[in-house]
Amino acid sequence: MFKFASLLMTPAAKYLMLAFAVLFPLVAANEYQVYVMATAFVWAIAVYGLNIITGFCGQLNLAHGGFFAIGAYTLGLLTADYGWSFWPAFVGALVMTAVLGFLVGIVSLRLKEHYFAIFTLCVGFIIYLLIDKWEELTHGAIGVRDIDAPYGFGLVDFTETTPFYYLVLAFLVFAIWFMGRLSKSLLGRTFIAIRNGDELAQSLGINLMRNKVLAFVLSTTYAGLAGALYAGMVRFIGPDAANIQHTFDMITYLLVGGIGTIMGPLLGTVGIVWITQSLQFLEEYRMIIFGPLLVLLVIFFPRGITGSFLTWMHRKSQALAPAKKRQERKVDTAQNREAESNA
Amino acid sequence: MLKVEHLTKMFGGLAAVNDVSVEFETGKINAIIGPNGAGKSTFFNLISGLHQPTSGRILLDGADVTTLPSDRVARLGVGRTFQTTNLFEQATVLDNLIVGHRLRTRSGLWDVLINSKRLQREEKAARDKAMEALEFVGLSHVAGQFIADITQEERKRVAFALALATDPKIVLLDEPAAGINPEETVGFAALMRKMVDEKGLTVCLIEHKMDMIMSLADKIMVLDHGEKIAEGTPEEVRNNPVVIEAYLGGDEDAAA
């Protein structure tokens, strides 16, 4: 079991997963499955953003879905109403979410713990209200139609599902790659130190505000990236994109997959999206299954699938490897005792 | 080294620290004792910049650090530990310690994106520093274990190592020997002595374990109700009637 599991820790496992993702459109039963997978990947990118601010930096941001919607609307409005083509609008969406993230961050991050969570919950709701009510800009409940699909430079047609799937996959791979690099870097360790405790982090010479704002801006940019891709894929968005429900869905994906881990957001999102798909026939009643499952998971596996797996692997390897060392140490002390008694 | 002048901290109408002046010399072990609620931890929080004093001055090597925020104070060489240290339980001891040297590094987001030479160099330096600190506190053998899997005493040593990884000139230790047994306490006393002798650090500690303080400290300051009521060598403090009164609550009791 352990030997088999340790195969999952090798770099080869990563490439196998990537190979599966690349081959998925070929093995999928129909186009709809490819579409569902692409949607799951889009949400996964947003969940990676949430993982930076909440998983690594420890600040529960409940406005995350709002920033997803801002990314989607920025791209939608720029292409549909202002005649921008997709890629400039795409960059515009990233800049918009980064700038708004910065502005919201420098205000909201003055608050700590649940006060921050409540504040961002309100920010998320305000974003929803603005989108829903500011009809001159956002078309209100009618939503934005005729959003541009990504321009393929004459090489590919991104209005087709499969090419779009690969586009999303490319961004997802980048998002995961960056997350992996971040987590191992001094910057990622700085975020984790803040999660461990504000006061301890400060006593280690860490500037709280600067690092928290940086993590927040990174997370909102991830959300904006996902939102922009979503708008380019669905080609229509309404105020529901900013529904607070999306934030809680993303938190669920993150908790199930493994908060503060590299692969957790992907596994959690893809896993739950497919389970939801297969439970479609239960409609709203599927929450009767999801609710208790989530409660059990949080109680028994607080670090989600990935976190629990990594912990288990580490303990196993520690138990197997130093067994030899420990024996050596015992021999040492026995010899010492002998030497002492001789002396 | 560290000079405190007329330091006062008011919380509402309550003076948690009241007009305390004291000087801690380089390379000495300075203890702060006093009954619960005497303002000892607040005193540490003021020095390390976690709280801003209501009045008074704090001088570190002659430089005024009174109003500096905590992270700046840390960069100037004030390391500290807390009564409880929250660490990342499901990460290794070494992984938890590497961030300790962060304040001496400059890599930012861009360095992470391009994996710059500077980042690589600084990460190696931080890792080496963490290993060095771990070895200093005698925990090299648990470097690869999760924080969740080490003993209470080892955790306390990790907290020491974390403070040491910041390259401090002075360390403030808040009840380092709380919650560990007498034998381990002896080990901690030796470790603090080693910090002074080998690293040339100045140590300040808050502690309730009197036998440890009396044999370890070069100088003791006694706080009671936020005020400094005595200061001196262990011998002087032990025989000071004011201290005896503060601890035992009245002359008659002390006599009895």
Phi, psi of B31 (to 5 degrees): -110, 145
Q: What's the confidence (pLDDT) of residue B249?
A: 66
Contact across the interface for B71 and A178, Cβ inside 8 Å: no
CA distance B18 to chain A (A): 23
DSSP helix/strand/coil, A261: coil
Q: Which of A196, A203, A309 to mutate to test the interface with B (most CBs of B within 10 A)?
A: A203
Contacts of A197 in chain B (CB under 8 A): 86
Contacts of B86 in chain A (CB under 8 A): 196-197, 200
For the segment B192-213, what is each residue's pLDDT rounded down to a tens digit?
999 999 999 999 999 988 889 9
Q: Which of A187, A193, A208 sits opposite B108 (nearest CB)?
A: A187
A57 close contact with B: CB closer than 8 A: no
Query: Does a structural domain hold residue A151?
Result: yes
Return d(Cα A162, Cα A266) in angstroms, integer.
19
Q: Which of A182, A190, A307 sits opposite B102 (nearest CB)?
A: A190
B91 close contact with A: CB closer than 8 A: yes
Tally of CB atoms within 10 A around A165: 24
Q: Which of A187, A206, A303 sits opposite B103 (nearest CB)?
A: A206
Instruction: Give residue A322's pLDDT band: very low, low, confident or very high (50, 70, 90).
Output: low
Q: At what angle do helices A31-50 and A208-234 cross, to 10 degrees?
A: 170
Domain B1-77+168-256 bears CATH identifier 3.40.50.300: yes
For the segment A299-312, what is each residue's pLDDT rounded down to a tens digit?
888 889 898 888 88
Give the torsion through C-alpha atoms of A273, A277, A282, A284, to 10 deg: 40
Contact across the interface for B102 and A314, Cβ inside 8 Å: no
Cβ atoms of A219 and A119 within 8 Å: the answer is: no
A343 close contact with B: CB closer than 8 A: no
DSSP helix/strand/coil, A115: helix
Contact across the interface for A199 and B82, Cβ inside 8 Å: yes
Which of B164, B150, B160, B149 has the alpha carbon at shortest distance from B188?
A: B160
Does A342 have pLDDT greater than 60? no
Does B231 have pLDDT greater than 70? yes
DSSP helix/strand/coil, B159: helix
Q: ipTM score of the complex?
A: 0.92
Q: Which of A188, A206, A311 sits opposite B90 (nearest CB)?
A: A311
A207 close contact with B: CB closer than 8 A: yes
Q: Is the C-alpha dihedral spanning B207, B208, B209, B212 positive or negative?
A: positive
A223: Cβ–Cβ under 8 A, 6 or more apart, which residues?
A: A46, A49, A50, A64, A65, A67, A68, A70, A71, A97
Return d(Cα A98, Cα A71) in angstroms, integer.
10
Contact across the interface for B50 and A199, Cβ inside 8 Å: yes
Phi, psi of A55 (to 5 degrees): -70, -45
A195 close contact with B: CB closer than 8 A: yes
Contacts of B123 in chain A (CB under 8 A): 185-186
Contact across the interface for A196 and B112, Cβ inside 8 Å: no
Cβ atoms of A124 and A62 within 8 Å: the answer is: yes
Does A324 have pLDDT greater than 70? no
For the segment B78-91, what is each residue's pLDDT rounded down to a tens digit?
999 999 888 999 89
Strand (E) or helix (H) holding B9: strand B2-11
Query: Does a structural domain hold residue A175?
Result: yes
B53: Cβ–Cβ under 8 A, 6 or more apart, which residues?
A: B7, B8, B9, B17, B46, B66
Query: Does a structural domain hold residue A7?
Result: no
Q: What's the confidence (pLDDT) of residue B246?
A: 82
Instruction: Give residue A343's pLDDT band: very low, low, confident or very high (50, 70, 90).
Output: very low
Q: Residue A135 sits in which domain range?
A: 16-306
Cβ atoms of B42 and B17 within 8 Å: the answer is: yes
DSSP helix/strand/coil, B174: strand
| % pLDDT > 90, chain B | 84
B167 close contact with A: CB closer than 8 A: no
Return d(Cα A307, Cα B234) in angstroms, integer.
50
DSSP helix/strand/coil, B202: strand
Q: What's the confidence (pLDDT) of residue A119?
A: 97
Return d(Cα B53, Cα A52) in angstroms, integer.
35
CATH of the domain at A225: 1.10.3470
Contact across the interface for A202 and B107, Cβ inside 8 Å: no
Does A84 have pLDDT greater than 60? yes
For the segment A203-226, what is each residue's pLDDT rounded down to a tens digit?
999 999 999 999 999 999 999 999
Count of structural domains, chain A = 1
CA distance A293 to chain B (A): 23
For the segment A15-49, what is each residue's pLDDT rounded down to a tens digit?
899 999 999 999 988 999 999 999 999 999 999 99
Does A116 have pLDDT greater than 80? yes
Pairing verdict, β B227-232 and B219-224:
antiparallel
Contact across the interface for A315 and B71, Cβ inside 8 Å: no
Total CB pairs under 8 A between chain A and B: 99
Q: Which of A102, A204, A309 to mutate to test the interface with B (most CBs of B within 10 A)?
A: A204
Contact across the interface for A182 and B112, Cβ inside 8 Å: yes
Contacts of A310 in chain B (CB under 8 A): 90
User: Hey, where are the domains in chain B?
Assistant: 1-77+168-256, 87-166
Query: Does a structural domain hold residue A133?
Result: yes
Instruction: Give residue B256's pLDDT band: very low, low, confident or very high (50, 70, 90).
Output: very low
Which of A213, A218, A106, A201 has the alpha carbon at shortest distance from B103?
A: A201
Query: Does a structural domain hold residue A272?
Result: yes
Tally of CB atoms within 10 A around B63: 9
Query: Does a structural domain hold residue A313?
Result: no
| % pLDDT > 70, chain A | 93
Query: Does a structural domain hold residue A5?
Result: no
- CA angle A133/A139/A140 to nearest 5° reads 30
Q: What's the confidence (pLDDT) of residue A6?
A: 77
Query: Does a structural domain hold residue A10?
Result: no
B76 close contact with A: CB closer than 8 A: no
B121 close contact with A: CB closer than 8 A: no
Q: Pick the residue from chain B with its C-alpha nearest to A205.
A: B71
Return d(Cα B43, Cα B223) in angstroms, integer.
10
Does B167 have pLDDT greater than 90? yes
Q: What's the confidence (pLDDT) of residue A284?
A: 77
Return d(Cα B134, Cα B140) in angstroms, integer.
5
| % pLDDT > 70, chain B | 97
Count, residues in chain B: 256
Q: What's the confidence (pLDDT) of residue A281?
A: 81
A273: Cβ–Cβ under 8 A, 6 or more apart, which residues?
A: A36, A39, A40, A43
